[in-house]
Amino acid sequence: MSPVAQTSTSAGTFALQLEIDSDTLASCVACGMCLPHCPTYRVTGEESASPRGRIALMRDVAERGEADAAFVEFMDACIQCRGCETACPAGVQYGHMMEVTREALASQTHYQPRLRRLAYRALGMPRLLGAGSRLLALAQRLGVLGAARLLSRIGRFRSLGTAVGALPRVPLRQRRLVPSGNDVWLFTGCVMDAWMRDTHRAVQSVIEATGAGVALPPPRAACCGSLHTHAGLGTDARRLARRVIAALPGDAPILVDSAGCGAAMKEYGHLLGTPEAHRFAERVHDVHEWLAARVDLLPAGAPIALDIGGPVTGGPVTGDAAQRPRVAVQDPCHLRHVQQAHLPVRAVLDRYVDVVELDDDGLCCGAGGAYSQQHPDIANAVRERKVAAIERSGAGVVASANPGCSLHLRAAGLDARHPLEIVAEHLSGDGGAGV
C-alpha cells in the first residue's frame, strides 16, 4: 500500500498561484533534520511525504504557477502536526506555508468539495451541530450506520460515508455546564462540546478547585476555526475567529482544554493581523499552563489507585509511591510543537500520578483533527507507532490533552483520558471509578 500518488502527467496540470514569498521558501536548506519527526515520512519513507519534500514541491509550484493532482495529494497527506518546526534548526515556518498552500488550493481549485465545506461550516452552528450529533447518536444506537457503509460505495459520497462510519460513539444526552463566576473563561468549542462535554465538566471542576469562578462562552463562540484553517478555508476561519474574539470580551484569561483549539486561538494575531486579535491571543492559555502556575492551590491527591486495568508496578513498593498509578503522557502536537505547553501538563498531573514519558520524541499520533477521518490508512499506520510506544511504557492509562487524539487512541483500544479528567477523579475521591 502506498499512500501517495504514483504518477502525474503533464496533461493534468492546472494553474495555481502560491503566494509564499521567496525568502520563506528559501529558508529550508534541505538538511533533512525534520524527516524523523514527520509522522508521514516515518510510515512511508518517501520524500514526497516529508516536510523537506513538500517545501521543495511548494517552491516548484510557486515558481511555475501550475500544479497537478499529485501535488494536491502530497499536500493533502500532511497531518499538519508541525513536529518538523520543533526539529528544524533553521526555524522554517512550515505550518504557515502549508496553511497558505491549502488556502490557495481551496480557493482556486475543487480541493474542498461542496459537501465537505458545508460540514465544516456546520461546526460554527452549535444548534445544528447539537441536533446532528443527537441524530448521529440515535443512528449509532439503532445500528443504521450500515447506511454509511453503503454510502461509501457511491463515488461522490465515498469520503463522507467513510468518515461517518469511522466516527466515535456520540452521547445521546448531555447535562448542561453551569457557570460559577467571572475569573476565567473556559472555552468549550464545537465538536468537543457536542460529544465530550463531560471532559469540560471535569476541567471546570479542577479550575474551581483553585478557588476561581468559571464563565462559559455564549453560543457565538462555538468554534475556534482551527479545522477550517487546516482545510484551507481561510475565509471561514477568519470569520469564526472574529466571532470568538467578539464573544469573549474583557480581560479575563481564556482557558482552553483542547490543544488544537488553543493553538489556533493563540495564532489569531497571525491569522487576522489586527492589534485586537494580538491582544486576544495574549489572553489565551492552555488550561494546564494556567493550572501549573497555581498548582499549590490544588488539594493534594488522595493516595488512591486509578482502576487502570494494567500493571501498577515499576518502582519500589514503599509508602504512597506504590499507590500512585502510572500514567503515560501523550503530547498533542499542537500543545507540544505549536504552543510549547506540554510541560505544564506534567506539572499538574505529577501531583496525583506517576508520569511516564514515552520514548518517541513526541511524534504525532495520527489524529490530526479531521485527518484521521480523511486519511484512515496513514492515520492508522502512524497510530501503530504511538500505540507501540505506549505499550513499551507499561502504563495502563494514557493522558492526552486534545480530544481528537483521545478519540483516535481510544479507537485503538487504549484507555485515553484528558489529564484533567484524571485529576478530577482524584479531587472527587472517585479514583477507582475509571472513565
Partner 1 sequence: MVPEADTAADAALLGDLRGVVGDRARDNDFERGLYSRDGSIEGSLPAIVCLPETAAEVAEIVGVCRRHSRPFLARGSGTGLAGGAVPVGRPVVVATAKMDRIIEVDVDNRVAWVEPGVLNLDLSRALTPLGFHFAPDPSSQQVCSLGGNIANNSGGPHCLAYGVTTAHIAALEVVLPSGETTMLGGVDAEPPGLDLRGLFVGSEGTMGIATKAAVRLTPNAPSVRTLLLDFDDVSEGSAAVSAIIAAGLVPSALEMMDQRAIEIVEAFAHAGYPTEAAAVLLVELDGLPGGVSAGVEIIREVAEQYHAGHVRVAADDAERALLWKGRKNAFGAVARIKPDYYLHDTVVPRSRLTEVLDQVYRIADAYDLIAVNVFHAGDGNLHPILAFDRREPGVDERVKAAGRDIVAASIAAGGVLSGEHGIGLEKRDYMGMLFSAHDMYTQDLVRETFDPDGFANPLKVIPSGSRCSDSFHQHVPEGAWV
- List contacts with partner 1 (CB under 8 A): 2, 5-8, 10, 22-23, 26-33, 35-36, 44-48, 53, 56-57, 60, 68, 70-71, 74, 87-92, 359
Contact by Cβ (8 Å): 408, 366: yes
Q: Which residue has the cell 499512500?
A: 3
Q: List strand residue ranges (DSSP E) for 8-119, in order.
A: 14-15, 66-67
Q: In whole angstroms, how close is the CB of 259 to partner 1 at the nearest point?
A: 22
> Is the Cβ of residue 34 or residue 224 nearer to partner 1 in the bound state?
34
**Helix ranges restricted to H, 143-190:** 146-151, 158-165
Nearer to partner 1, 88 or 244 (CB): 88
DSSP string, 265-295: HHTHHHHH--HHHHHHHHHEEEHHHHHHTTG
Sign of CA dihedral 351, 261, 227, 167: positive
Confirm if 252 and 174 have CB atoms less than 8 A apart. no
Of 134, 154, 153, whose CA–CA distance to 142 is shortest? 134
Of 48 and 133, the one with the shorter C-beta distance to partner 1 is 48
User: Smallest gap, in angstroms, from Cβ of residue 361 to partner 1?
Assistant: 9
Closest approach of partner 1 to the CB of residue 170, in Å? 37
Angle at 286 between CA 175 and CA 369, to 5 degrees: 70
- Contact by Cβ (8 Å): 370, 231: yes
Beta strands in 366-415 (DSSP E): 397-400
Shortest distance (Å) from residue 67 CB to partner 1? 9
CA distance 35 to 47: 9
293 dihedral zone (left: phi>0; alpha: psi -120 to 50; beta)? alpha
The answer to whether 220 and 187 are in contact (CB under 8 A) is no
Instruction: Give least dist CB 346 to partner 1, A.
Output: 13
Specify the residue, 90 or 293, whose C-beta has the smaller distance to partner 1. 90
Toward partner 1, which CB reaches closer, 74 or 352?
Answer: 74
Residue 34 C-beta: closest distance to partner 1, Å: 8
Tell me how far, at minimum, the Cβ of 32 lies from partner 1, in Å: 4
Residue number with CB closer to partner 1 (6 or 318): 6
| C-beta of 57 vs 222, nearer to partner 1 | 57
**Angle at which helices 197-209 and 419-427 pack, to 10 degrees?**
60
DSSP for residue 336: I
Cβ proximity to partner 1, 33 vs 411, nearer residue: 33
Of 36 and 179, nearer to partner 1 (C-beta) is: 36
Q: How far is the CB of 81 from partner 1 (least distance, A)?
A: 17
Query: Could you give the angle at the alpha carbon of 111 between the alpha carbons of 105 and 116, nearest 5°?
Result: 130
**Beta carbon of residue 24, minimum distance to partner 1 (angstroms, whole number):** 10
Give min distance, CB of 65 to partner 1, in A: 15
Q: Can you point out the beta strands (E) in 8-88?
A: 14-15, 66-67
Residues with Cβ within 8 Å of 353's Cβ and at least 6 positions away in sequence, in order, are 301, 306, 324, 325, 326, 327, 422
- CB nearer partner 1, residue 35 or residue 192: 35
